[in-house]
Structure 1
Amino acid sequence: MEPWIAPSILAADFANLGREVDDVVAAGADLIHFDVMDNHYVPNLSVGPLVLESLRKHGVTAGADVHLMVTPVDDLIGAFIDAGADIVSFHPEASEHPHRSLSLIREGGAKAGLVFNPGTPLAFLDPLIDVVDLVLIMSVNPGFGGQAFIPSTLDKVRAAREAIDRRGRDIRLEIDVGIKVENIADAGAAGADTFV
């Protein structure tokens, strides 16, 4: 798959969000990554569907990659799809019924993804791999930016790539947090094709 770059809006100056998103899209960003935190699933609070809807009204047409770090998950899926999400991903342990959550995303017309923290076993993927369009591997524990990249997460990327390749489906493999010039090649060599 063609590699994609997906800058997170958390790196933006929110006072100038529309302009900053325009700038990264003009520079070649393939997706805009929305880290959605609720101060329950993770100890931080970020944006809701209104921010995505506002960016769409501003004229942003780049793909919107929404990463839900919330509980309950299902309550926000429809709101983000209605606001213009192209991809909606969530942590399987944040959903009582991950298969149902994935189905809600796909039925809403978006691509569905599962997110794996450094300590979340990939075994969650096995029964769900046929209904996911994206697997997101976190290279840090979620909730705060600026954390150091955990190198052992590249082993999880490799294992996820092997599982995806065994199925023979076009499933994107995204790595999130701490991706820089110094490690993006290693993440790509491990099998990632989408970089936040």
Structure 2
Amino acid sequence: MAIRISPSILSADFAHLADEAAAVSDTADWLHVDVMDNHFVPNLTLGLPVVESLLKTVTVPMDCHLMIEDPDRWAPAYAEAGAGSVTVHAEAARSPVRTLREIRGQGARAGLALNPGTALESYADLVPEVDMLLLMTVEPGFGGQRFLDIVLPKIRRARELIAAGGGSIWLQVDGGISEETVERAAEAGADVFVAGSSVYKAEDPAAAVQSLRAQAEKAAVSGK
């Protein structure tokens, strides 16, 4: 199981996003972009025009997490723009199968996100349609929140579900990932880790990515 680290620019300096992306370009696997609309979640961040601009300068593939209403309308455009991965929320998508297939049709990886209180079992039938399953480990909307340990059993169930289907789907966790929590998430079965504050509030963001990766890799081995 390969470990992937995806720093979230939600915690970066928005006045210098290209520089902030470059700061982790040699150590990160993905650059996580939280798109929030102040409707689905109580925060407003950035949208497609900013993503399009970033795509012209960043060298790390972009992982766009759409925390928005009507992702069925907007998600394919992020994939068409060049995002390497586009994730929509199960709670917001009205036509998830069609939307996930449209994302794939544009050449991007298709992801499905579930909030902490959303039952995994309710969406188990959609798992074959995705390249990545994202389990929120905080309530979505703001960075810097504490990791919710109540999600750990759901991560374990998701890992079992993925393994039963062949194990090719990535299992991402987002929220409160730090040196204090990454090992618990990895032991439970996660293999893609979104880290915002723990990377971009660190003195050396690139070194923070390396440290998180080392901890996750060690924990993943012990959790087998």
User: TM-score band, normalised by the shorter chain?
Assistant: over 0.9
Q: Which protein, 1 or 2, shows the higher relative CO under an 8 Å CA cutoff with sep ≥ 6?
A: 2
Structure 1 stretches lacking a partner, 5+ long: none
CA-to-aligned-CA distance 1:84-137 (integer Å, 9 cap, x gap): 211111111201111111111111111111101110010233211111100001
Question: Could you say which residue in structure 2 is the equivalent of 1:191?
Answer: 189
1:11 aligns with 2:11: yes
Question: Could you say which residue in structure 1 is the equivalent of 2:41?
Answer: 42
User: Share of identical aligned residues, percent?
Assistant: 49
Tell me if structure 1 keeps the 8 A contact 2:75–2:88. Answer: no
CA distance in 2, matches of 1:82, 1:46: 20
Supply the RMSD in Å over aligned alpha carbons: 1.1
Residue identity matched to 2:54: L
Q: How does 1:56-71 map to 2 (within 5 A)?
A: 56-58=55-57, 60-71=58-69
Residue identity matched to 1:144: F
CA distance in 1, matches of 2:122, 2:101: 16
Tell me if structure 1 keeps the 8 A contact 2:87–2:111. Answer: yes
1:130 aligns with 2:128: yes
1:61: how far off? 2.2
Residue identity matched to 2:47: G
Question: Could you say which residue in structure 2 is the equivalent of 1:115?
Answer: 113
- Structure 1's consecutive aligned runs of 4 or more residues displaced over 3 angstroms after TM superposition are none
CA distance in 1, matches of 2:185, 2:126: 24
CA distance in 2, matches of 1:49, 1:117: 23
CA distance in 2, matches of 1:29, 1:125: 30
Tell me if structure 2 keeps the 8 A contact 1:92–1:124. Answer: no
- Name the SS of the counterpart of 1:96 in structure 2: coil
Question: Could you say which residue in structure 2 is the equivalent of 1:24?
Answer: 24
Residue identity matched to 1:67: H
Residue identity matched to 2:16: N
1:5: how far off? 0.5
CA distance in 2, matches of 1:94, 1:166: 27
1:140 to 122, 138, 141: 138
Residue identity matched to 1:162: E
Residue identity matched to 1:46: T
Structure 2 stretches lacking a partner, 5+ long: 195-224
Tell me if structure 1 keeps the 8 A contact 2:76–2:99. Answer: no
How does the TM-score come out when normalised to structure 1? 0.95
1:142: how far off? 0.5
1:163: how far off? 0.4
More displaced 10-residue stretch of structure 1: 123-132 or 186-195: 123-132
